[in-house]
Chains A and B, each alone.
Chain A
Amino acid sequence: MSTIQFASGIAVVNILLLGLLTTVWVRNYRTFRSSLLLGLVAFGSVMLAENVVAIYFFFSMKMLYSGDPTVQQAVLVLRGLQLVAIAFLTWVTMK
């Protein structure tokens, strides 16, 4: 599997986790009607969009990424770090 395919895979996992988080926050907003939750929903939605755009770039600009292995690795590290961040947030939210 290429580095970029792996990075796309991580983006898909990010999208699943963010979908889960945003669902919890939307549901809680319906219950509590607090602006904190509106903020969390907005945060989750933008992060979701960011990961969708990332996947779009991986497939539509393969040439750009495939030219340079260092760029591919940098992209993979960034996706991976975001996964770690979202995983922690998911952990404390599902408790």
Chain B
Amino acid sequence: MDKALWYLLTATRGGENRARLIRELSERPRNANQLADALDVEYKTVRHHLDMLEDHGVVEPGDNDYGKLYFLTDQFEQHREAFEEITEHID
């Protein structure tokens, strides 16, 4: 998981937005629309980031089909220290 976070956040073009997305979800679960507003990016972009993060076990959707809320996984919480280390220089 640590390596996945380094890859997803620092080594890719969308890394910074993904880090901000995780920060948003750390405050409380949100759906893709709310995340798009919070990050000021396109809905499609947020969907792409959520899919990538879900593929790597960082986030998971809740149960409702419409306006699905996204949560950080337990697995991610166990590696939160790595996340904090990676993002310590982001405002």
Contacts and interface: CB of A to CB of B under 8 A. Distances in A.
- A and B part of one assembly: yes
Contacts of A31: 15-16, 89-90
Interface stretch (A33-41, A56-64, A80-88): A33-41
Contact of A34 (B7, B10, B13, B52): B10
Interface string B1-20: 00000110111111110000
A93 B16 contact: no
Nearest to B16: A31
B16 A40 contact: no
B25 interface: no
Contact of A32 (B7, B13, B89): B89
Interface residues of B, number: 15
Looking at chain A, what size class is its interface with the partner chain?
A: 10 to 19
A22 to B, nearest CB: 12
B12 A95 contact: yes
A1 interface: no
Interface of A: 24-25, 28, 31-34, 36-37, 40, 92-95
Closest 4 CB pairs of A and B: A33-B89, A32-B10, A24-B13, A31-B16
